[in-house]
Structure 1
């Protein structure tokens, strides 16, 4: 039986990875500050340590307290707009905490490290779909912080043999098909949960930013990957690091969906219209961002099992409709 440390395991993607690890029989320790995560999102069976990743003493104590076979790192700041207002904070936390954790891992002899990275590395790409050979030209402090973290891990591999896998995913979406976990951010910045919140009356009407793009319906196209499929990708690259070298992969559907197609899928799931208005383009928004997942498929055997837009949106809607107050409501029920 293997044991893994998951930082940020009380967050959206991290909690789904914890669930996947537990379901295959691994032991999991979660390190999370709960600033953005939720105690109720940590699946039963995982050990939760509440602490700051930037506190080196806390990290060292966790690594000394258990024998780990690897680390999966999700704890990070991730809002693009906020990163442009607070770039130094993003660089300090995302780069400093990642490399501090990597350094502690080397000292503790934990030599497998999976980083939750981002498509924001590529900025405004020259080619669609975006594969791993695309030039990395981030246009936000968030994207740049992840690029710096990836490069630091390359140095850690060369100098210390810390094998790392970096998954650059585009738009994680959906919820656990069993209804145990879902997406609950504050503030919420993602299209699918905002559309779901709008149709449920939990948030304001949507604004569709731009209807004159060179796409079939005039709205921007983005790549969505179900969070459960994303969890499977993390487990595959984690296992690949046992005997293989460091690796980097883009993770997405390979197709993409437009804003209006997402709205239509939410309407199918809810059985009623999503309230929305049309607005101008946002500066810097490209018409299409779609990933190539060919390398991940070829080298790990990964195949999305919940790849349709209706699968993604349906699970997202089902979880939120049952949990109108999100994890806050679950916490209140537990307290009662």
Structure 2
């Protein structure tokens, strides 16, 4: 009697593994580019007000994404995806960028990093409540370690008296807008492509920021070329490219895990500030950055069952749970 042929299971495992590696690579691109954004924001923010900087960044990002959509003939997202696109566009692309830019002018960098980094925790809580995301012990442990690292980085970078109550509130609102935008975006990715969700979310954010158009025109006339180039860089790379790779990865894992991945950003910001701005970090800052990275590694790790590595749940966008967020 011939042995049964086994061809489908290995092929499915290879496809799943490849998809997982692509999603991890996309998440890595996102984290690196978002970390670089903090360096560019510091330069552009000296010449542009919060709303004008957000609008200029979104216009540059929307233009770049629009060109790519035309070349790829992406077309309009299906009607069922528009609710999530609109909510994420208002909360994340629009509201978040403006209040974060404003908040970082009112508080020191350490306080901003400390407050904004409650965002991944809010994502996990909202994801569990609205999307039914699982919260395995490794994810919770990794987030706890990373948050401790973010607090350590924040405390080590906090200046004496450079913060205000308004600034703290603005950073808190930024964290809430970020979390709400991510959770709203997740169901839309089950109905539209990552490029469509990012492009039209960016357009919605730009429309929300149109009241700052007058400020942008006035400030662009007097801004140094370096500040304007940094604003364009923010639009093309940390917005157009990084938000697309984020959406690609988010469509293939849970919102909670993606939120935990962004805890690598504080560590990378410390490194980039050291290399690009000559800001030498202290031992406490380096220790906090190491904790952030260690927590991300724990949250992204997978359990072993015997010799078999059990992969993190990965699915293609069309197989995602079709649940609209509130």
**One fold, TM greater than 0.5?**
no
**TM-score (ref. length: structure 1):** 0.26
Q: Max radius of gyration: which structure?
A: 2
The structure with the greater share of residues assigned to strand is 1
TM-score, reference length from structure 2: 0.26
Bigger relative contact order (CA 8 A; separation at least 6): 2
